[in-house]
Amino acid sequence: MPKQEYSAENITILEGLDAVRIRPGMYIGSTGVKGLHHILWEIVDNAIDEAANGHANSIIVTLHKDGSASVRDNGRGIPTDINSKMGISGVEVVFTQLHAGGKFNENNYSFSGGLHGVGASVTNALSEWLKVEVYRDTIHKISFHSYFDKEKEKFMCGIPESHLIDTKEKTQEKGTLVHFKPDAAVFDSVLFNFETVSKRLKELAFLNKGLAITLLDERVPEDRQPIAIHYQFDGGLYDFAIYLNEGKTPLYKEPIGYKVEKDGILIEFVLQHTDEFTESTFSFVNNIPTPEGGYHETGFKAGLTKALNDIARTSGLLKEKESNLMGEDFREGLTAILTIKMKNVQFEGQTKTKLGNAEARSPIENAVIEGLQTLAQNQDFKIIFEQIIKKAQAAAKARLAAKQAKDIARAGKSIENITLVGKLWGCTGKRVELNELFIVEGNSAGGTAKKARMRQTQAILPLRGKPLNVEKKKIEQVLANEEIRTIISALGAGYGSAFSIDDLKYHKVIILADADQDGMHIRCILLTFFYRYMRKLITNGNLYIGLPPLYKVYKKDHIEYAYDDNELQEKIEIVGRGYQIQRYKGLGEMSEEQLWETTMDPKRRNLIQVCIEDAIGAERMVTALMGNRVEARKEFLAEKANFNKVDNFMNKITI
Ligand code: 1YM
């Protein structure tokens, strides 16, 4: 890696900060909570870069009582010397010039993340104030603030109160401190979320082996100590894999991995198989999660399949006359982390979290082949590869056995849903983008929904019993379950790796279950099924949870519905004296008019869209909730689940 002495001289300069104030969304995505956290990540990213380049080993993030946040690293400190083009210090340039920074200089080997690496000046532009201290022999300080200039009748943002001051105060410390207060006039909310911050810092600690990251939350009552969390993983990605596999049974004790640089791309991967049947790969580009995948994941998977088939042949486990195993066989029960660092990253996809750089594919494929071949030649790893291959062979066997069941499901699809007769009440409309499928708990509620629905666009699929809990089940067991088969053929888009979102017959798939424990269980089972076998349905935004009301508050002809306990109080006040309350124990208790008004009418109903913002959280939760480890499930439910509040649960799964 070329290393070069860096000074304020080589900073490239593009434009001023007003642009950021005018269109914050263009720089930070949104002015919601995501955007708020984004301006913190900009600063954290710079500290992480400094650590990744080997100059810092500790980062402290503090959430202060007054709503401000600070980030401290023990690196070289942002350059304090004067940039000759600008005539001001490097620090001042970094915080006042858009796109200023070492990152944009070709000679400087640095990869940055964010949306995407727009820089610290964006944080400054969107803050009420921002203060920087640089510790380099002496302490250097500079402060910026935003205000309305009455004379100019103009909003001024990120304006330095003076140039960088060398206080001449001696210091033994090294590094940079950036302290800022997000501007409440910019963001919908200026409250940093502890969970969001700690989760991301933990992820960064896994991705940056050995780096000590501390999170302090000072926003606690006067008499309490600040909350302090410390993350440091000397095993890096290996620790990450072990963490992801908590609650599962690994096939071999230590994860295996490889790290290499190929064609200017830094590539590292770690993997460990468990006795589960599904696969979870987590990929990152420049420390940013890429849940939508992309060329790096394609290369990774191709490499894995090729290398493991080769190893299976040379080891004699795969005979000459036997055909190659398929990628999905090798990925059964696989937990993998792939992280790459490269320049000129192109993000694509629905949420801009898919790597679009085609040139990344083959270096990664080659790295995986090289890595696995190297490991396989080592006697210590011989047994591990044997276990991986044997598991894949078992998977292949199951796959072939499942083909039969698959054919049945396919037949169901082509012969106009023969298997569904008497079950699915289809809709008459032909425009799939308008069509909705309600998966309804229970035959009687299904019957009510059938009468209540709008026939043209709303189809009803009643579930008689509980569908199968698919976690821990082999594919052929999953397919043997009638309820599951019915869902697959009703949606018409296949399942698993063959799932094709383009064939989906309903653009809204709505789960409608009672607001009680049984209903919660059914929701969990269905979510697990969709998460494991039709994930695209979730990532594409097609899956919803319908929320039936919990109460009817009424007096004579005046009826109000309440969807939770808080709302109940409001509705009681609206109806006024003499009100009566009916608590709905299930969907089946509602008349067709009531079900229509409260739960099915697109104008009045409450739907929650299921999404996976945090795939790692989702993975761990699905394992905990639906796996066969009873203690893990009990612990999780005791900690998180509140059976009365459906949306509470969903917020958790809207991870
Ligand atoms: C709390 C946030 O910003 N640390 C930080 C930033 C920089 C450096 C060191 C640094 C980088 C380089 C050379 C280089 C930055 N410098 C610049 C720029 N922590 C935090 N620590 N010397 C120091 O990239 O070569 C931008 S960020 F542009 F001035 F070099």
Protein residue with its CA nearest to atom 5 in ligand 1: 78
Average pLDDT, the chain: 86
Task: Give residue 115's pLDDT.
Answer: 39
Which distant-in-sequence residues (6+ apart) come within 8 Å of 457 by Cβ?
A: 427, 429, 431, 434, 435, 436
Q: Does ligand 1 have an atom closer than 6 angstroms to the CB of 101?
A: yes
Task: Give residue 81's pLDDT.
Answer: 96
Instruction: Name the pLDDT band for 496 (thresholds 50, 70, 90).
Output: confident
pLDDT at 591 over 80: yes
**pLDDT greater at residue 632 or residue 153:** 153
DSSP track, 42-111? HHHHHHHHHHHTTS--EEEEEE-TTS-EEEEE-SS-S--SEETTTTEEHHHHHHHSBT-SGGG-TTS---
DSSP track, 365-407? HHHHHHHHHHHHTSGGGHHHHHHHHHHHHHHHHHHHHHHHHHH
Instruction: Name the pLDDT band for 45 (thresholds 50, 70, 90).
Output: very high
Q: Does ligand 1 have an atom closer than 6 angstroms to the CB of 51?
A: no
Contact 36, 198 (CB under 8 A): no
Instruction: Name the pLDDT band for 4 (thresholds 50, 70, 90).
Output: very low
Contact 539, 530 (CB under 8 A): no
Strand 458-463, strand 607-609: pairing:
unpaired
Is 592 assigned a catalytic role?
no
**pLDDT greater at residue 483 or residue 225:** 225
Instruction: Name the pLDDT band for 468 (thresholds 50, 70, 90).
Output: confident
CB atoms within 10 A of CB 323: 9
Which distant-in-sequence residues (6+ apart) come within 8 Å of 640 by Cβ?
A: 652
Question: In whole angstroms, how large is the CA radius of gyration of the chain?
Answer: 28
Please compute the mean of the pLDDT values over residues 189-218 and round it to a whole number. Answer: 97
Task: Give residue 650's pLDDT.
Answer: 35
Per-residue tokens: 249: 């049974």
pLDDT at 486 over 60: yes
Strand 69-73, strand 256-262: pairing:
unpaired
Cα–Cα dist 263/362, whole Å: 10
Cα–Cα dist 583/553, whole Å: 9
Distance 274 CA to ligand 1 centre (A): 41
**pLDDT greater at residue 307 or residue 487:** 307
Is 514 assigned a catalytic role?
yes
Task: Give residue 631's pLDDT.
Answer: 62
Please compute the mean of the pLDDT values over residues 39-51 and round it to a whole number. Answer: 96
SS3 state of residue 596: helix
Cα–Cα dist 115/331, whole Å: 31
Which ligand 1 atom lies nearest to the CA of residue 175? Answer: 21
Query: Which helix (H) or strand (E) segment is 142 a member of?
Result: strand 127-149
Q: Does ligand 1 have an atom closer than 6 angstroms to the CB of 47?
A: yes
Question: Count of alpha carbons within 13 Å of 521, Cβ hemisphere only?
Answer: 9
Among 92, 128, 329, 514, the active-site one is 514
Please compute the mean of the pLDDT values over residues 555-559 and round it to a whole number. Answer: 89
Cα–Cα dist 401/322, whole Å: 17
Task: Give residue 410's pLDDT.
Answer: 56
Contact 432, 502 (CB under 8 A): no
Please compute the mean of the pLDDT values over residues 397-426 and round it to a whole number. Answer: 61
Cα–Cα dist 440/450, whole Å: 10
Q: Tokens 């590869």 appear where?
A: 385
Share of the chain above pLDDT 70, in %: 87
Widest pairwise Cα distance in the chain: 85
Q: Which of 261-270, 379-388, 618-627 has the weakest average pLDDT?
A: 618-627
Which ligand 1 atom lies nearest to the CA of residue 70? Answer: 1
Q: Whose CA is closest to 105, among 92, 94, 96?
A: 94
Please compute the mean of the pLDDT values over residues 506-522 and round it to a whole number. Answer: 88
CB atoms within 10 A of CB 375: 18
Q: What is the pTM of this model?
A: 0.74
Contact 651, 612 (CB under 8 A): no
Is 518 assigned a catalytic role?
yes
pLDDT at 58 over 90: yes
Model confidence pLDDT, tens digit, residues 221-235: 999 999 999 999 999
Cα–Cα dist 239/496, whole Å: 29
Cα–Cα dist 376/353, whole Å: 33
**pLDDT greater at residue 519 or residue 70:** 70
What is the edge-to-edge ordering of all strands in the sheet holding 227-231? 154-160, 127-149, 165-182, 69-73, 58-63, 212-217, 227-231
Q: Whose CA is closest to 252, among 376, 384, 381?
A: 384
Protein residue with its CA nearest to atom 23 in ligand 1: 78
Cα–Cα dist 136/169, whole Å: 10
Instruction: Name the pLDDT band for 406 (thresholds 50, 70, 90).
Output: low
Model confidence pLDDT, tens digit, residues 412-435: 444 334 444 448 899 999 999 999
Model confidence pLDDT, tens digit, residues 152-176: 888 899 999 999 999 999 999 999 9
Please choose from 40, 46, 134, 142 the residue to mutate so as to test ligand 1's pocket, defined by most ligand atoms within 8 A of CB. 46
**pLDDT greater at residue 95 or residue 517:** 95
Beta partners for residue 221, in sequence order: none
